Amino acid sequence: MSIYLQHFGLKREPFSIVPDPGFLYPSNHHRQAVAHLKYGLDREGGFILLTGEVGTGKTTLTRTLLTRLPAHIRVAYVLNSKLEVTDVLASICDELAIDLTDIRGLSFSKICIDALNQDLITSHAEGQKTLIVIEEAQNLTPDVLEMLRLLSNLETNTQKLLYILLVGQPELLDILALKDLRQLNQRVVSRFHLLPLEKKDLANYVNHRLHRAGGQQPLFNSASISMLFRKTQGVPRLVNLVCQHALVAAYSLGAKTVSPALVKTAAREVLGSGKIIKTDRWRFAVMAALLFVIGGLIMHFVDSPDISTPRTNTPQLLLESVERLDSEAINNPKPQDSIANPFVALLGRWSIDIGQLYSEDAFFAQAAHQNLRAFKMTAGTVEALRRVDRPGIVWLKEESLLRVYLLTGISQSKVILTGSQGISSIDLLLFTERWTGNFLYLWQPPQGFKPLKIGSKNPQLVSWLQDQLAIIDQTAERLVTGGLYTKAIANKVRDFQSEQALKSDAIVGRETIMRLNQLTNDSVPRLDKGDQ
């Protein structure tokens, strides 16, 4: 590890422009993009578009999606879009490990398409889907686009055999709008245009990357973030470049945080606008920083035999609500232990120890990384809290602000809230007067979870379900269903739901899974019911 990173308590470079899925900041806009891409894959086949300006994170988002695809989806990833028709076909076949046999009298394109068609039919029969991803799709020639349209015609009697994701700059939209390409444009089943980060998201983006790199506290205050947004307009690649240069400069000056002046000067260097070096002190700082970084890298390579890069009363008020959190609270929080941060404290209830989190989006992403699901109840009631029976985050009205707490217990007369000064309790009536009705909690789905309805086939989940029912009722007979969620098992589930005062619809969803977990797994955190 270089001295530069050690100076800021980092374990790896936080602002590399390499499209590492592990650093993707799950803003609301990016989550919408992933949802649109997944929606396209759930359709019957066709084209999916992801467009955005240079540096907005299209490749990072694409690779994040690919790492989360189910095992039954095969992917052919074509990085070079400046290819002729035969080269694209050859690349697709190579990515899918399709053997090509030279047949006299047939063109290479015909050989590739026939082999691909046969492979797709075989894969479809085995329950697999095939996705072709093409980066920098704005560079594709009309001939290649027409060839891709023809490939999208490959189908069985009932279903298309191919999904094609085109990732490109905004010009791609103009190209597809051309009259000659209207047939292709009409086959787009889902499209999304990725925008730069909004100003309100920038602090969370920077802090998220610092946290993923091992940082324990923010290094950019609110004024620095404001300067950063003015200079980059929220384009992630520019943000990364400016932040990296600013950190190196701060290190060279012995500073532990980055000032707005350093951000401004770093932006001039990166963006090439105006005179970069105004003083000898700045020139010396930059040169010294480069020498230190180079020296640190040399020491790292000498000392380490493995030089491969890693892949991957009223309680004390806590933090303001994310909906009302001001930029200063996000960018320059005071050092606090884990109990003072409700997001961290809630994960701690599940025996998960992490650094600081500064947004709900980051919390949802961290929960998913830990194989948990986060769910936010709105317009909730006290009875709903009792039914959920999980610790969670609540928002209370106090004067003109919303404050956020970790709710850890609820009795007949009191509510237990955890804060920076420990555990406190308030009267239940006072709580109901101040509570907004929002409640954010965690639950743990089994592997392979998708809601089960009669006729669903999910051998892993059906087996898990029968295991849980057998733990609850040891006299229950285990049924052989071949992985199908049959009517016989559904009747057992319906009886269980009725006994537990759940909706008796025989659908195995979130609430049914949660109740099964509570009854069969003592490690699941629950609310304290004692009268405090």
Count CB atoms within 10 A of the CB of residue 461: 22
- What tens digit of pLDDT does each residue of 158-209 get? 778 899 999 999 899 889 888 889 889 888 888 888 888 888 889 999 999 9
Asked whether residue 528 is assigned to any structural domain, the reply reads: no
Q: Do both 346 and 424 map to the same domain?
A: yes
- Three-state DSSP at 417 gives strand
Please compute Rg for the chain using Cα positions: 27
Residue type, position 501, single letter = A
Q: Are residues 282 and 374 in the same domain?
A: no
Is the pLDDT at 496 greater than 70? The verdict is yes
Name the residue among 198, 218, 194, 197 with its Cα closest to residue 208. 218
Are 432 and 485 found together in one domain?
no
Supply the pLDDT for residue 278. Answer: 40
User: Does the residue 448 lie in any domain?
Assistant: no
Q: Report whether pLDDT(124) > 70.
A: yes
| Residue position matching structure tokens 């406190």 | 424
3-12, 126-135, 167-176, 294-303: range with lowest mean pLDDT: 294-303
Q: What is the largest CA-CA distance in the chain?
A: 88
pLDDT score for 19: 82
Is there a single domain that holds both residue 85 and residue 112? yes
Spatial contact of 395 and 436, defined as CB atoms under 8 Å apart: yes
Note the pLDDT tens digit of each residue in 420-466. 666 788 899 999 988 989 899 999 998 878 888 988 888 888 888 98
CB 449 within 8 A of CB 513: yes
What is the C-alpha separation between 369 and 67, in angstroms, rounded? 12
- pLDDT computed for residue 398 by the predictor: 74
Distance CA 14, CA 214 (A): 8
Does residue 431 lie in a domain region? yes
Tell me the helix, strand and coil percentages in the chain, rounded to 5: 45, 15, 40
At 148, the pLDDT band (50, 70, 90 cuts) reads: very high
- Considering the domain architecture, whether residues 181 and 214 belong to the same structural domain is answered as no
Query: Phi/psi of residue 265, each to 5°?
Result: -70, -40
What pLDDT does 531 receive?
52
| 324 band by pLDDT with thresholds 50, 70 and 90 | very low
Q: What integer pLDDT is reported at residue 356 of this predicted model?
A: 65
Mean pLDDT (whole number) for 336-341: 55
Distance CA 155, CA 276 (A): 58
Residue 138 clears pLDDT 90, i.e. is over it: yes
408 and 491 part of one domain: no
Q: What is the mean pLDDT of residues 259-273?
A: 86
Q: Judge if 329 and 379 occupy the same domain.
A: yes
Residue 449: per-residue pLDDT: 84
Model confidence at 313: pLDDT above 90: no
Last residue of a domain, one of 253, 270, 303: 303
Average per-residue pLDDT in the chain? 81
On the question of pLDDT at 56 being above 90, the answer is no
Residue bearing tokens 């990357």: 209
Least confident interval from 105-119, 143-157, 303-317: 303-317
> In this structure, what DSSP letter does residue 384 have?
H
Sheet of 46-52: strand order equals 73-78, 129-134, 163-168, 46-52, 188-194
Handedness of CA 455, 457, 461, 462 (dihedral sign): positive
Residue 52 has pLDDT above 50, yes or no: yes
What's the pLDDT score for residue 281? Answer: 44
Q: How confident is the model at residue 264 (pLDDT cuts 50, 70, 90)?
A: very high
- DSSP characters for 183-216? HHHTTEEEEEEEPPPPHHHHHHHHHHHHHHTT--
CATH number (domain holding residue 46): 3.40.50.300
Q: Considering the domain boundaries, does residue 174 fall inside one?
A: yes
Task: Identify the band that residue 358 occupies on the pLDDT scale cut at 50, 70 and 90.
Answer: low
| Domain that includes residue 472, residue range | 459-520
| 392-408 confidence digits (pLDDT tens) | 999 888 766 677 889 99
Angstrom distance (rounded) from CA 64 to CA 21: 5
Q: Mean pLDDT over residues 491-518, rounded?
A: 90
What is the distance between the alpha carbons of residues 248 and 254, in angstroms, rounded to a whole number?
A: 10
Q: What is the CATH number of the domain that holds 359?
A: 3.90.70.10
Domain edge (last residue) among 303, 335, 368? 303
Q: What is the number of other CB atoms lying within 10 angstroms of the CB of residue 44?
A: 10
Residue 219 lies in a domain: yes
**145 lies in some domain:** yes
- Residue 273's pLDDT is 52
E strands, 333-429, are 373-377, 392-398, 401-410, 414-419, 422-427
The pLDDT confidence band at residue 246, using thresholds 50, 70 and 90, is very high
Q: Are strands 319-320 and 163-168 parallel, antiparallel or unpaired?
A: unpaired
The per-residue pLDDT for 357 is 65
Does residue 141 form part of some domain?
yes
pLDDT at 328: 32
Q: Which of 261, 279, 303 is the last residue of a domain?
A: 303
- State the pLDDT at residue 205: 92
pLDDT at 355: 66
Q: 94 and 233 share a domain?
A: no
| Residue 40 located in a structural domain | yes
Q: What percent of the chain has pLDDT over 70?
A: 84
DSSP-derived letter for residue 153 is T
Which pLDDT score is estimated for 314? 31
Give me the pLDDT at residue 226, please.
93
Residues 34 and 122 in one domain: yes
Q: What is the pLDDT of residue 325?
A: 30
What are the start-end ranges of the H helices in 382-506?
382-388, 428-434, 459-472, 487-499
163 φ/ψ angles, rounded to the nearest 5 degrees? -115, 135
270 & 131 share domain: no
Tokens of 235: 């384009």
Task: Give the model's pLDDT for residue 525.
Answer: 92
What is the reported pLDDT for 294? 47
Q: How far is the C-alpha of 40 from the C-alpha of 221, rounded, in Å?
A: 40
What CATH number did the domain enclosing 470 receive? 1.10.101.10
| pLDDT tens digits, one per residue of 65-117 | 888 888 888 999 998 888 889 999 999 999 999 888 777 778 888 899 989 98
Same domain for 353 and 263? no
Q: Are residues 355 and 382 in the same domain?
A: yes
Q: What are phi and psi of 386, to 5 degrees?
A: -65, -40
Domain count, the chain: 4
